[in-house]
């Protein structure tokens, strides 16, 4: 098992659209296992493959941290978002030290393949819906800081620079 390094903003891979997975093999399943471990090590609840340097459409989620609640989706496709819009605090393992309130739909329906290659559809609500939406955003190169207002984002990025010492953000927005 490999310990995967989590890429940090402004790493360019976080802004790339991830490629669909064409065949699911043992190497994708190994990657998924390693992604869960990397996520647990950082006390996260979700992770997308680009965050570990792999530009493929794979996400893992676990809202509770219990193994029975592990959810891995290959080639996730958001079918619809519905319900009321809810605001909640969100962070990202690739943008440590900062968090912000992000508005998202209460419910999401997603289709995709599980690690065995089986197609499935899932309707999620609340925290799980939020995690899936956040991770699917990663596959499009979208980060949670893109979903807040310009001035809030600017303030947050300044805080991120101060806390992490990362200064070379460039003209990312």
Which sequence positions are flagged as catalytic?
135
Q: How far is the CB of 46 from Ni ion (least distance, A)?
A: 7
Site for Ni ion in 5-34 (CB under 5 A): none
Cα distances (Å, whole numbers) of residue 92 to 21, 48, 51, 99, 130: 24, 10, 10, 8, 12
Pattern 40-79, Ni ion, x by CB under 5 A: ----------------------------------------
Least separation, in Å, of the C-beta of 23 and Ni ion?
Answer: 26
The closest alpha carbon to 110, from 83, 85, 133, 77, belongs to 77
135: which 2 tokens? Answer: 């991770």
110 lies in the site for Ni ion, by CB under 5 A: no
**Footprint of Ni ion on 75-104 (CB under 5 A):** 92
- Rounded Cα distance, 102 and 64, in Å: 20
Residues within the interface to Ni ion (CB under 5 A): 92
């Amino acid at each position: 098992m490999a310990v995967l390094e989590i890429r940090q903003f402004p790493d360019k891979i976080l802004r790339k659209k991830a490629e669909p997975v064409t065949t699911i093999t043992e190497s994708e399943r190994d990657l998924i296992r390693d992604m869960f471990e990397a996520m647990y090590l950082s006390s996260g609840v979700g992770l997308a493959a680009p965050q570990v340097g792999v530009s493929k459409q794979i996400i893992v989620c676990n809202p509770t941290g219990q193994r029975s609640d592990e959810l891995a989706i290959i080639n996730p496709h958001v079918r619809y978002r519905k319900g009321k819009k809810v605001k909640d605090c969100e962070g990202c393992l690739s943008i440590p030290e900062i968090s912000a309130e992000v508005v998202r739909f209460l419910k999401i329906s997603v289709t995709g393949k599980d690690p065995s290659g089986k197609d499935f559809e899932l309707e999620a609500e609340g925290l799980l819906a939020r995690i899936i939406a956040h991770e699917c955003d990663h596959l499009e190169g979208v980060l949670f800081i893109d979903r807040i207002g310009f001035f809030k984002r600017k303030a947050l990025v300044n805080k991120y620079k101060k806390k992490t010492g990362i200064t070379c953000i460039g003209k990312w927005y």
